[in-house]
């Protein structure tokens, strides 16, 4: 093992300098411990450092290292945690592979024509969907021109799409492999993100995926269905219907949906859905989407709530009157309380939950994203939602649905 560490440290000392593009460490021995590591050079206050981005579970951690410490760190990674390391520099590429018996194989080759490297800490952001690379659905939805340039008026939308894909990139290790992924996008609207999620998971990551976009607007569903056919996205469909009435029946529902007696699309008796997405579903529509996700035991929930009026109508707490007497403050506080209740109820039902900033506050105040990842086993958090709700004299739709 010490000889392996020595070889890897020598390799890092050779290639980790201002000409390094990136280091990607992958193929973990234990995916629950750590999923992937990326390293890039940065210049901070005139010093060359190396920034590590580590993906652990559904979290991302950043840390800066001196060259010597980086070499030691990667040597430990490759002898304890990972089986593959790819190093890309301006004039050389290297791949380190570790066999199941611990044998290390290092393959190095020279390259030419390398591009200049930006070492600034705040370098131009590298997006998952790159600027300058045409993507058909982005062109048809008016985000890109035909040569891949971003339409100026749609640049915020472009950043929003990429930001959302980053949230999905973080949780890729938690998604099941070796079978079709089922995803529901409730209240998909014009479906910028629905198309983006399909493109990213299917075309870029190679997942066999089936995504259903559900919305109430008939003309929107018709247009999105036409685009999906145009691109040959066989695993993407759009249905008209109400979130509260929708049921998923796995593969069977792709062979012809049935109506539920109310003229709304339905597909059966509630089977496995791996990911539930709900963006800006108004007021209690978010609660119905979250309840469906819990019912289906979805591995991942991504929700950006909107228009949280329910608590605002109910909240009645004398001790908080100095705040509640101001309409604007009452509205904002009610929205935060609503999402706090939702997050804690998901924890009660076995999810690890994060409250994240979706997009910059300057663009919209509706920028909170609730991300829930199903925990392994049957562990559930003991939280005090009802106690808080009773104090505020509120009862949310999600509380009722999950009782």
What tokens were used for 78?
Answer: 């490759």
What gap in Å lies between CA 33 and CA 121, rounded to an integer? 28
Which domain-ending residue is among 110, 126, 149?
Answer: 110
- 200 DSSP 8-state letter: I
Please return the burial class of 112, using the count of CB atoms within 10 Å of its CB with bins 0-12, 13-18 and 19+.
exposed
Q: Give the per-residue pLDDT at 259.
A: 37
Is 123 among the domain residues? no
Q: Give the per-residue pLDDT at 301.
A: 96
Is 58 among the domain residues? yes
Please return the burial class of 283, using the count of CB atoms within 10 Å of its CB with bins 0-12, 13-18 and 19+.
middle
Contact status, residue 83 vs residue 103, Cβ threshold 8 Å? no
Same domain? 295 vs 329: yes
Same domain? 239 vs 383: yes
Same domain? 87 vs 153: no
Q: Give the per-residue pLDDT at 32.
A: 72
Q: What angle do CA 230, 236, 242 make, to 5 degrees?
A: 120
Which domain-ending residue is among 94, 110, 126?
Answer: 110
Q: Give the per-residue pLDDT at 112.
A: 65
Contact status, residue 198 vs residue 192, Cβ threshold 8 Å? no
Q: Give the per-residue pLDDT at 125.
A: 57
Same domain? 173 vs 30: no
Q: Give the per-residue pLDDT at 260.
A: 36
Same domain? 211 vs 106: no
Is 115 among the domain residues? no
Is 7 among the domain residues? yes
- Residue ranges of the chain with per-residue pLDDT less than 70: 58, 112-126, 248-271, 359-366, 378-382
Same domain? 288 vs 337: yes
Same domain? 310 vs 168: yes
Q: How many domains would you assign to the chain?
A: 2
Q: Supply the range of the domain harboring residue 67.
A: 2-110
What gap in Å lies between CA 116 and CA 41, rounded to an integer? 13
What tokens were used for 212?
Answer: 């259903």
Look up the CATH number of the domain holding residue 142. 3.40.50.150
- Packing angle, helices 2-15 and 67-76, rounded to 10: 140
Going across the sheet that includes 59-65, the strands are 59-65, 47-56, 36-44, 20-28, 82-89, 92-98, 104-110
Same domain? 142 vs 92: no
Q: Give the per-residue pLDDT at 122.
A: 47
Which is nearest to 8 in space by CA: 99, 114, 106, 88?
Answer: 106
Is 10 among the domain residues? yes
Which is nearest to 63 in space by CA: 52, 72, 78, 50?
Answer: 52
Which domain-ending residue is among 110, 144, 161?
Answer: 110
Residues in the chain: 403
Is 127 among the domain residues? no
What tokens were used for 402?
Answer: 């999950």
């Amino acid at each position: 093992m010490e000889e392996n560490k020595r070889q890897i440290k020598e390799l890092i000392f050779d290639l980790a300098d201002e000409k390094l593009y990136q280091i990607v460490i992958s193929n973990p021995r234990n995916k629950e411990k750590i999923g992937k590591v990326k390293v890039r050079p940065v210049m901070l206050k005139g010093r060359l450092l190396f920034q590590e981005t580590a993906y652990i579970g559904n979290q991302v951690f950043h840390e800066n290292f001196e060259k010597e410490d980086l070499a030691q760190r990667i040597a430990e990674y490759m002898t304890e945690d990972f089986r593959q390391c790819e190093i890309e520099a301006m004039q050389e590429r290297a791949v380190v592979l570790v066999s199941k018996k611990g044998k290390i194989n290092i393959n190095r080759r020279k390259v030419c024509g390398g591009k200049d490297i930006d070492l600034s800490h705040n370098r131009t952001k590298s997006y998952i969907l790159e600027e300058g690379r045409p993507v058909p659905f982005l062109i048809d939805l008016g985000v890109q021109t035909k040569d891949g340039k971003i339409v100026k008026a749609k640049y915020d939308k472009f950043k929003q799409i990429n930001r959302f894909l980053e949230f999905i990139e973080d949780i890729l290790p938690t998604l099941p492999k070796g079978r079709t992924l089922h995803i529901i996008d409730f209240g998909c609207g014009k479906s910028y993100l629905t198309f983006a999620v399909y493109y990213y998971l299917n075309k870029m990551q190679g997942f066999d995926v089936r995504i259903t976009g559900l919305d109430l607007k008939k003309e929107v569903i018709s247009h999105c269905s036409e685009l999906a056919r145009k691109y040959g996205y066989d695993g993407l469909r759009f249905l008209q219907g109400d979130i509260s009435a929708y049921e998923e029946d796995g593969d069977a529902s792709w062979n012809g949906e049935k109506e539920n007696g109310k003229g709304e699309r339905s597909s059966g008796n509630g089977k496995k859905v791996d990911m539930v997405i709900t963006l800006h579903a108004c007021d209690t529509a978010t609660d119905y989407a979250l309840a469906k996700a819990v019912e289906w035991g979805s591995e991942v929930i991504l929700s950006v709530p909107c228009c949280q009026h329910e608590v605002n109508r109910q909240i009645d707490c004398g001790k908080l009157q100095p705040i509640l007497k101001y309409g604007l403050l009452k509205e904002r506080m009610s929205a935060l309380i609503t999402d706090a209740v939702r997050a804690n109820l998901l924890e009660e039902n076995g999810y690890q939950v994060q409250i994240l900033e979706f997009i910059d506050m300057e663009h919209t105040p509706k920028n909170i994203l609730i991300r829930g990842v199903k925990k392994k086993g049957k562990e559930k958090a003991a939280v005090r939602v009802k106690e808080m709700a009773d104090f505020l004299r509120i009862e949310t739709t999600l509380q009722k649905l999950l009782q």
